[in-house]
Amino acid sequence: MFKILLDSPNVGELEKKYLNDAVDSGFVSTYGPYVTDFENRIAELLHVPCTVGLQSGTAALHIALYECGIGPGDEVIIPAITFAATAHAVLYVGATPVIVDVESDTWCISPSATESAITSQTKAVIPVHLYGNPCDMGRMTQIAQANNFFIIEDAAESLGSKYQGQYTGTLGDLGCLSFNGNKTITSASGGMIALKDPKRAEHIRYLINQSNPGYGFDNHGEIGYNYRLTNLSAAMGLAQVERVHSFLNKKKDFFQIYKKHLSGMPDVFFQAEYPGAENSYWLTAILLPFHQDVDRVIHQLKDKNIPARRFFNPLNTFKFMSGFCQGTLKNANDIYARGICLPSSTLNEAEGIEHVCDVLKELIT
Ligand SMILES: Cc1ncc(COP(=O)(O)O)c(C=O)c1O
């Protein structure tokens, strides 16, 4: 029988080879050649001039906001459906998250809700390319430019996705990536900021090194953070990025299988894509028919050794964030009520995904 995995990392011989090499070199901590190599490979992949590796995607979001000078008294618009880290990062800098609704079909931040939420204090918006699906970056860019605020992309889930031919993470002022264990590629834990401005990149490098100009210095010009990526993490990340195209192809194939089997079912919906958007399908997710009990379906799948999970809880469901919400967030709540994430790990094989479709069809027909 197939072993089906939801989002487990695909780590093998190349990762072992680079990790062993890093250990043998003695560079196991925050200095070492793999950090630069990994940063350069991501920059090449995304066609972006600068990348800075960090300990996590959350650290990347925090430092991106900090680098833009966002702090107390400022507002940052974010979507209601995202992983909580997007909101946490806004709170780390002392700014106020302004949580707006997502669109009912793409499940990504609504440009019109964003526009309605703008005040004189708005300093940034964080579009989140949910499950790999690019936001409407054309509209978001127009809105941000017209109102003179930053776009900090949360591209944690969208490595390899494109909008009008350009990679997500490179469409805004700064783009934040995650290499957490469940992402398209992993560096065990890690993140990266992608950007065009080399001066900002240098400043970010300084900030995440405790605001210390380099190794052997002890001269801190401003508040600093210890957010550097380790050489061990980067060794693993480099091996993964060398395999990224095979991962992306596999995820696309899995999505096509799900689509072939499930899209004709009554009231089953896939994420809609904007014109010009190319989803990298980090995680295939669907909305079940209205009358289905999502928890029951997840349990029944689990009984058949198929892991699945609900969507992220909308941010309004967390008590300490509920005061930051705009309106009823109807779409976010409706999507959460019906959403289910399906096995998408690249350790799966096509036959396994076909099997998931067969079981799911039986359960919800
Ligand atoms: C949308 C989103 N933003 C931010 C993060 C945070 O990334 P990390 O876990 O690397 O801190 C994640 C995932 O973990 C995420 O899915």
Using CA atoms, how far apart are residues 53 and 180, in angstroms rounded to an integer? 13
Confidence of residue 238 (pLDDT cuts 50, 70, 90): very high
Confidence of residue 290 (pLDDT cuts 50, 70, 90): very high
In this structure, the answer to whether residues 237 and 258 fall within a common structural domain is no
In this structure, the answer to whether residues 40 and 94 fall within a common structural domain is yes
**pLDDT, greater one: 216 or 244:** 244
The CATH number of whichever domain residue 323 belongs to comes to 3.90.1150.10
The answer to whether residue 6 is domain-embedded is no
Atom of ligand 1 nearest to the CA of 129: 1
Closest CA to 59 of 241, 224, 232, 240: 224
Q: Give the pLDDT score at 97.
A: 98
The answer to whether residue 314 is domain-embedded is yes
Atom of ligand 1 nearest to the CA of 178: 10
In this structure, the answer to whether residues 119 and 232 fall within a common structural domain is yes
In this structure, the answer to whether residues 65 and 207 fall within a common structural domain is yes
Mean pLDDT of 94-122: 98
The answer to whether residue 27 is domain-embedded is yes
Question: CA-CA-CA-CA torsion for 175, 180, 182, 183, nearest 10 degrees?
Answer: 30
In this structure, the answer to whether residues 323 and 307 fall within a common structural domain is yes
The answer to whether residue 351 is domain-embedded is yes
Confidence of residue 216 (pLDDT cuts 50, 70, 90): confident
Q: For residue range 251-272, what is the model confidence (pLDDT) as tens digits?
A: 999 999 999 999 999 999 999 9
**Residue ending a domain, choose from 193, 212, 242:** 242
Please give the distance, rounded to the nearest whole angstrom, from the Cα atom of residue 320 to the centre of ligand 1.
Answer: 19
Please give the distance, rounded to the nearest whole angstrom, from the Cα atom of residue 201 to the centre of ligand 1.
Answer: 21
Q: What DSSP element (H or E) covers 186?
A: none
In this structure, the answer to whether residues 43 and 164 fall within a common structural domain is yes
**Residue ending a domain, choose from 193, 226, 242:** 242
The answer to whether residue 44 is domain-embedded is yes
pLDDT surpasses 90 at 71: yes
Q: For a pocket test of ligand 1, which of 61, 161, 178 has the largest count of ligand atoms closer than 8 A to its C-beta? A: 178
In this structure, the answer to whether residues 237 and 267 fall within a common structural domain is no
In this structure, the answer to whether residues 168 and 220 fall within a common structural domain is yes
Q: Give the pLDDT score at 47.
A: 98
The answer to whether residue 118 is domain-embedded is yes
8 Å CB contact between 207 and 225: yes
In this structure, the answer to whether residues 200 and 256 fall within a common structural domain is no
3-state helix, strand, coil split of the chain in percent (to 5) is 40, 15, 45
For 73, the 3-state DSSP assignment is coil
In this structure, the answer to whether residues 190 and 127 fall within a common structural domain is yes
Range of 297's domain?
Answer: 244-364
Q: For residue range 38-70, what is the model confidence (pLDDT) as tens digits?
A: 999 999 999 999 999 999 999 999 999 999 999
Using CA atoms, how far apart are residues 186 and 182, in angstroms rounded to an integer? 7
Beta bridge pairs of residue 124: 76, 150
Q: Give the pLDDT score at 99.
A: 98
pLDDT surpasses 80 at 215: no
In this structure, the answer to whether residues 352 and 283 fall within a common structural domain is yes
Q: For residue range 175-210, what is the model confidence (pLDDT) as tens digits?
A: 999 999 999 999 999 999 999 999 999 999 999 999
Q: Give the pLDDT score at 328.
A: 94
Using CB distances shorter than 6 Å, the residues near ligand 1 are 56-58, 82-83, 85-86, 128, 154, 156-157, 178, 180, 191
Please give the distance, rounded to the nearest whole angstrom, from the Cα atom of residue 179 to the centre of ligand 1.
Answer: 8
Please give the distance, rounded to the nearest whole angstrom, from the Cα atom of residue 56 to the centre of ligand 1.
Answer: 8
The answer to whether residue 2 is domain-embedded is no
Burial profile 331-345: b = 16 or more Cβ within 10 angstroms, e = fewer: bbeebbbbbbbbbbb
pLDDT surpasses 90 at 163: yes
Question: CA-CA-CA-CA torsion for 349, 57, 140, 131, nearest 10 degrees?
Answer: 20
What is the DSSP-derived secondary structure letter of residue 247? H
Number of domains in the chain: 2
The answer to whether residue 249 is domain-embedded is yes
Q: Give the pLDDT score at 195.
A: 98
- Percentage above 70 pLDDT, the chain: 100
8 Å CB contact between 313 and 162: no
In this structure, the answer to whether residues 224 and 267 fall within a common structural domain is no
The CATH number of whichever domain residue 64 belongs to comes to 3.40.640.10
**Residue ending a domain, choose from 219, 242, 265:** 242
Mean pLDDT of 114-143: 98
Specify the pairing of strand 150-154 against strand 174-178.
parallel
